[in-house]
Structure 1
Amino acid sequence: MDNRTNLDDYLAGLGISDADDVVPLPPAPEVAAPASSAPEAMDEDPRAVLERFLQGLTARIDPTLTITVREGEDALEAEIGGENAGRLAGRDGRTLGAIEVLAYTVLAKQAGRSDLRVRVDVGGFRKRQADTLSRLAERLAVQVAKSGEAHELQPMPAADRRVIHIALKEHPDVTTESVGEGASRRLLIKPRSYEP
């Protein structure tokens, strides 16, 4: 089955088609050329590409949503705001994660910038989630320090693991480690003097 056809069908179901000028993607080449071979793509401002993509996407979902894009320390950061923005996060942030993947792909194709990370937040979802994960990390750190035994969390996305790593980086009694591969990658919180 052709992946491009599946994507085209999915986008058509969302009301996005090739005829729309929101984010014009070039036709897929037979052999993928490196991004650096397209000098006109390199000239386009990555912030403008990301903002245009997100505006096109949100205009079809809820025209009242607002987009703000800024350059962060290590990524382009976009905030989608508005009265109903929080609904765009989806269950457990899955829709938001998909939007980030699409935004990264568009940025790599349109601006030739596959080196830039993209973070998208809707209605403060990521901030609230980071706060919740930080509180969880602190509670688990106390538990691990008291028991002397490591605690392994369920598999979670890299961004969530990163929040916990950062929250416990300076903790005097515990340390963190990511274990596993791919979608099964999870976080291990263990005492600093832990030996399995």
Structure 2
Amino acid sequence: MDNRTNLDDYLAGLGISDADESELPPPAPETAQSAAPALEAAHEAPVVVLERFLRGLVSRIDPSLSVNVHDSGDALEADITGESAARLAGRDGRTLGAIEVLAYTVLAKQDGRGELRVRVDVGGFRKRQADTLTKLAERLAVQVAKSGEAHEMQPMPAAERRVIHIALKEHPDVMSESVGEGASRRLIIRPRHG
């Protein structure tokens, strides 16, 4: 698999391509330093590297957006906020997913940082998505508990399956499990007893 092609696809999803670089306005003086290549800063803390990368990226897309990065213990979490931040999520969160892949790649290129998890949210998209998935899990749990029959969901990304697993972890009547491989991996909600 050609990594450059995948990276080009992600950049195209962000509206950025090699041909577009000459058309991009130069970064504002206050963001020029933050747009410096993150890969050259191998000695810097991952939080600093991630914040510099994301600030450089969003300054090219919409300079009015703000970036806040913190270490939650199990992952580096970044929030991109601003009046038009929600648009940056893209259709079904695809652009947001591409931003996460790019951010992870920047950190993974640095020695010893490939194990870090990166979560990026723009305009509260991930929070709204998690709330929607939690409500869906609760509705399906009632349905499965009432009917006694398992419910198999459509394939979904690991982060979305995780939200549902967590929502149903303590449920007294149902349990969830992931089945399948790769992009076909999906979740099944089953009655706990029976």
**How far does the alpha carbon of each residue in 1:9-56 deviate from its partner, in whole angstroms, 9 at most, with x for none?**
954245389xx9632547xxxxxxxxxxxxx72x32000100011011
Question: Structure 1 length as normaliser, TM-score?
Answer: 0.83
Q: Gaps spanning 5+ residues in structure 1: where? A: 27-39
Query: Corresponding residue for 1:97?
Result: 97
Q: CA RMSD in A?
A: 2.4
CA contact (8 A) 1:155 1:186 kept: yes
| Distance change >3 Å, CA 2–CA 191, structure 1 → 2 | closer
Q: Which residue of 1 aligns with 2:36?
A: 22
Instruction: Tell me what 2:51 maps to.
Output: 51
TM-score, structure 2 length as denominator? 0.83
| CA distance in 2 between partners of 1:153 and 1:6 (Å) | 28
- Deviation string 1:106-158 (CA, Å, 9 cap, x unpaired) is 01113641111000000000000000000000000000000000001110000
Alignment partners' CA distance in 1, 2:145 and 2:47? 44
Q: Quick one: distance in 1 between partners of 2:20 and 2:72?
A: 30
* Secondary structure class of the residue paired with 1:178: strand
Post-superposition offset of 1:167? 0.2
Which structure 2 residue ranges, 5 or more long, are not aligned? 25-31
Counterpart code for 1:15: E
- Correspondent of 1:12 among 12, 18, 25: 18
Alignment of 1:18-167 (within 5 A): 22-23=36-37, 25=39, 41=42, 43-110=43-110, 112-167=112-167
Runs of 4+ in 1 over 6 A off after TM superposition: none
Cα distance in 2 for residues equivalent to 1:69 and 1:82: 15
The residue type equivalent to 2:21 in the other structure is G
**Structure 2 counterpart of 1:146, one-letter code:** K
- Percent of matched pairs sharing the same residue: 73
Distance in 1 (CA, whole Å) between partners of 2:183 and 2:5 is 26
